Chains A and B, each alone.
Chain A
Amino acid sequence: MTAPQRTPLYEAHIASGAKMVDFAGWEMPIHYGSQLKEHEIVRSDAGMFDVSHMTVVDISGSDAKSWLQKLIANDVAKLGFEGKALYSGMLNDDGGVVDDLIVYLTATGYRMVINAGTTKKDLAWMDKQSAGFDVQLQVRRDLAMLAVQGPTAIAKVCSVKPALAEQIQALKVFQGLPSSDWFYARTGYTGEDGLEIMIPADQAITFFNELKAAGVAPIGLGARDTLRLEAGMNLYGHDMDETVSPLQAGMGWTIAWNPEERDFIGRKALEAQKAAGVPMKQVGLVLEGRGVLREGQKVVVDGAEGIITSGTFSPTLKHSIAIARVPAATGATAQVDLRGTLTEVRVVKMPFVRNGKKVFE
């Protein structure tokens, strides 16, 4: 085992009282006291997450566009102007998900943000797929990344960066603003409004402290997980991986089928799956009684089986929720094997929570 890596914000976490844990080879804050309180702060006010462990890759070269059109299932041709963002799966030949990512159009090409735990295999995969293309990849370990999320997040960032306030406020969802070496994107992983901000590493602690002084609370990875689950957002390695098709992981909307001649990796496998009929689908589960749904628990539907891929107690709803992969014919209810007891749960369309409010019926 090698010692876990530290982000440029490590000292700021310690100074803020973080409990640090090893996450995908990085020493990261799990919480700064109470995960539930941190969750509530992001739903009602503003919090910031160090996401510097994720990997920023700048893509340049004359073939950057055509290469990305082959590499990922969504189509970068949709990116109409600098700063515009796209969410996509990067698939293997069998149509399994190598990773999920965001890609931005930049002045020099594209910028991609990939998961921390998958970085090594992603880079190897991308390198392998670049044969015959004029494309260069630059990993930006010189950048830190801070997600500032919550109903007051944008206003608080603007109070710290008044010169950029007007431009930041003008950003629409899934749009980014480059500003010298910084990049402000109106994206996130919480179901709240907010920004994900890339910062030169040597300026990260100063910015973190300025945001803290402006009333933005540091939030750990624990609350990040309950927030994204309430928002119905997938977590790589749990809700999908290389053995799971995006068609069975609620990612159908991220696949750009047109133009038909765009031969992205995994396309043929996905077309065959569609023709044969996709046997499983992703749904949300709700348990209004006692108990907590957990990853790995068995879901039973009319004798057929599914599985919970992520489950937790929802701090906003005060009961348990889960993301599950279940037989395609699943209706309004299912049963979950809850520590040996088959317990009835409701099947709902996700998300569970958006902008602080319950959204499912």
Chain B
Amino acid sequence: MSNIPAELKYVSSHEWLRLEADGSVTVGITEHAQELLGDIVFVELPAVGANLAADEQAGVVESVKAASDVYAPIAGEILEVNAELEANPELANSEPYAAGWFFKIKPANAADLDGLLDAATYAAEIGA
């Protein structure tokens, strides 16, 4: 079944989050999400510097099959987006937890991460 790394946090809309050493948080979509979408052909990423609320739209991912919104899983400021992913959207299919990351966000409240799903809970939610 789907790969769900134990060290990451998750939200029900199928984004993953990784807390980095500098306090920033890297966000991408899960392997399960990319399986549902199929071949990804375009990715729209948020503007660097944008301040987003939790659950606010942060981008769009378009596959051959469907268009789907990507949400900011926590409130914060967009620090960096993955330009490599914009040029090669298939990275979200092939390496969803590595080269296929979407953006880095500076959390408005570091504690917001605590309330998110752990790997076991996300796995249970998607029936994995």
Chain A residues proximal to chain B, CB less than 8 Å: 31, 34-36, 222, 226, 290-292, 294, 312-313, 315, 339
Contacts and interface: CB of A to CB of B under 8 A. Distances in A.
Contact of B41 (A222, A292, A294): A292
A291 B42 contact: yes
A34 B42 contact: no
Contacts, number: 34
A231 to B, nearest CB: 16
B38 A313 contact: no
Closest 10 CB pairs of A and B: A313-B41, A36-B39, A292-B62, A35-B39, A313-B64, A290-B42, A35-B64, A34-B39, A35-B38, A312-B64
Contacts of B64: 35-36, 222, 226, 292, 312-313, 315
A238 to B, nearest CB: 14
Interface in B40-83: 41-42, 44, 60, 62, 64-67
Contacts of A31: 38
Of B41, B64, B65, the most chain A CB neighbours within 10 A belong to B64
B29 to A, nearest CB: 17
Contacts of A222: 38, 64-65
25 contacts: A31-B38, A34-B39, A34-B93, A35-B39, A35-B64, A35-B65, A36-B39, A36-B41, A36-B64, A36-B90, A222-B38, A222-B64, A222-B65, A226-B64, A290-B42, A290-B44, A291-B42, A292-B62, A292-B67, A294-B66, A313-B41, A313-B42, A313-B62, A313-B64, A339-B67
Contacts of A313: 41-42, 62, 64
Contacts of B65: 35, 222
A314 to B, nearest CB: 9
Contacts of A294: 66-67
Interface in B1-58: 38-39, 41-42, 44
Contacts of B67: 292, 294, 339
Contacts of A291: 42, 62
A239 to B, nearest CB: 18
Interface in B67-119: 67, 90, 93
A31 B64 CA distance: 12
Nearest to A226: B64
Contacts of B44: 290
A291 B39 CA distance: 14
B54 to A, nearest CB: 22
A81 B44 CA distance: 55
Given A222-B65, A226-B64, A312-B64, A292 B39 contact: no
Contacts of A35: 38-39, 64-65
B85 to A, nearest CB: 13
A68 B38 CA distance: 42
A316 to B, nearest CB: 12
A76 B67 CA distance: 43
Nearest to B39: A36
B42 to A, nearest CB: 5
Contacts of A226: 64
A291 B67 CA distance: 9
Contact of A292 (B38, B42, B90): B42
A129 B90 CA distance: 51
Contacts of B62: 291-292, 313
Nearest to A223: B64
A339 B66 CA distance: 12
A230 to B, nearest CB: 12
A222 B44 CA distance: 23
A35 B90 CA distance: 12
Nearest to A312: B64
Given A35-B65, A36-B41, A292-B62, 17 more contacts: A31-B38, A34-B39, A35-B38, A35-B39, A290-B42, A290-B44, A291-B42, A292-B41, A292-B64, A294-B66, A294-B67, A312-B64, A313-B41, A313-B42, A315-B64, A339-B60, A339-B67
